[in-house]
Amino acid sequence: MPLVVLCGRPGSGRSRRAAELREALRGAGRAAHVVSEAEGGRAALRAEVERLLSRRDVVIVDAGNEVRSIRYELYCAARQAGTPSCLLLCAGGRDGPELPPFEAPDPRNRWDRPLFAVCGEEPLPLGAIRAALFESAAPAPHRATRSQPLQSCGFLHSLDRRTQDVLDAVVAAQRDGALPGEVIRVPGVAEGLVLSRPVSVAELSRLRRQFISYTKMQPSDENLPQLASMFVQYLSRSIQ
């Protein structure tokens, strides 16, 4: 059954909202599972969500999901499972230089809609959330890939080229002596990549294949300018 992704800064009340949703969305013959950030990081979180997605139960992801690449992965997982999804933004909370940068959802992005937002003690828009989850048609897996073959070919070519450019930049930086903790700059990407440890070409290639696998589920020309940035963010979260 459907997927609800929560996002918000620390202190925004995200976990409280996840508990409210669990109580409100479970029912006769239907459980509601809350998946929180756990040991193993991003990959473990994604794997647990994929394991729980089914035609019966509701999966609620209570994690920061502060960068768009994470939300995109979860959106793709729901689409592949053929189940509706929605995003709940818990506004407010705290910010600071010691915290990861928060990329606010943008409803123009497919993976950020339908988007609902709550702040403070506002009641959850349960009616609208239930309609999005239980009254919406489940998307067909890979429908966009089948219905837009010409667009998909161009998209996949750009996906392959831009992720390879990122990988080449990281490999070159490490070869030139970049140390863990230093910022690696990738041409055309505003944010830098900071690695906590040396990363082999084999591991980078494996992460690139994983990113391509998720991203090609939903090819769209509107995502082209963000591909390199999304891959940099994916590497930043996956390499721990």
CATH number of the domain encompassing residue 22: 3.40.50.300
Looking at the structure, tell me whether residues 173 and 131 fall in a common domain: no
Question: pLDDT digits over 2-42, tens only?
Answer: 899 999 888 899 999 999 999 999 887 788 999 987 555 77
Angle, in degrees to the nearest 10, between helices 227-238 and 201-215: 120
Decide if 192 is inside a domain: yes
Range of the domain at 215: 153-239
pLDDT of residue 145: 32
Decide if 143 is inside a domain: no
Decide if 148 is inside a domain: no
Tell me what the mean pLDDT of segment 199-227 comes to. 78
183 by DSSP, 3-state: which? Answer: strand
Looking at the structure, tell me whether residues 158 and 83 fall in a common domain: no
Decide if 147 is inside a domain: no
Residues ≥6 apart with Cβ < 8 Å to 58: 1, 2, 3, 4, 25, 26, 30, 31, 32, 33, 133
Decide if 95 is inside a domain: yes
The pLDDT confidence band at residue 109, using thresholds 50, 70 and 90, is confident
Which of 40-54, 132-146, 179-193 ranks highest by mean pLDDT? 179-193
The pLDDT confidence band at residue 240, using thresholds 50, 70 and 90, is low
**pLDDT above 60 for 210:** yes
Looking at the structure, tell me whether residues 101 and 163 fall in a common domain: no
Decide if 145 is inside a domain: no
Question: Which one of 135, 170, 197 terminates a domain?
Answer: 135
**pLDDT above 90 for 114:** yes
Question: Which one of 82, 100, 135 terminates a domain?
Answer: 135
Looking at the structure, tell me whether residues 130 and 158 fall in a common domain: no
Looking at the structure, tell me whether residues 192 and 226 fall in a common domain: yes
Looking at the structure, tell me whether residues 190 and 233 fall in a common domain: yes
Looking at the structure, tell me whether residues 116 and 164 fall in a common domain: no
Q: What secondary structure letter does DSSP report for 141?
A: T
Looking at the structure, tell me whether residues 123 and 164 fall in a common domain: no
Question: How many domains does the structure of the chain reveal?
Answer: 2
Question: pLDDT digits over 118-176, tens only?
Answer: 998 999 999 999 999 988 877 665 444 343 444 456 777 888 888 999 999 999 999 99
pLDDT of residue 61: 94
Decide if 146 is inside a domain: no
Looking at the structure, tell me whether residues 96 and 38 fall in a common domain: yes
Rounded CA separation 8/93 (Å): 7
Mean pLDDT estimate for the chain: 83
Looking at the structure, tell me whether residues 219 and 177 fall in a common domain: yes
The pLDDT confidence band at residue 47, using thresholds 50, 70 and 90, is confident
Question: Which one of 135, 163, 197 terminates a domain?
Answer: 135
Looking at the structure, tell me whether residues 114 and 161 fall in a common domain: no
Geometric angle at alpha carbon 215, from 10 and 217, rounded to 5°: 120
- Token pair belonging to 86: 């929605």
Looking at the structure, tell me whether residues 29 and 113 fall in a common domain: yes
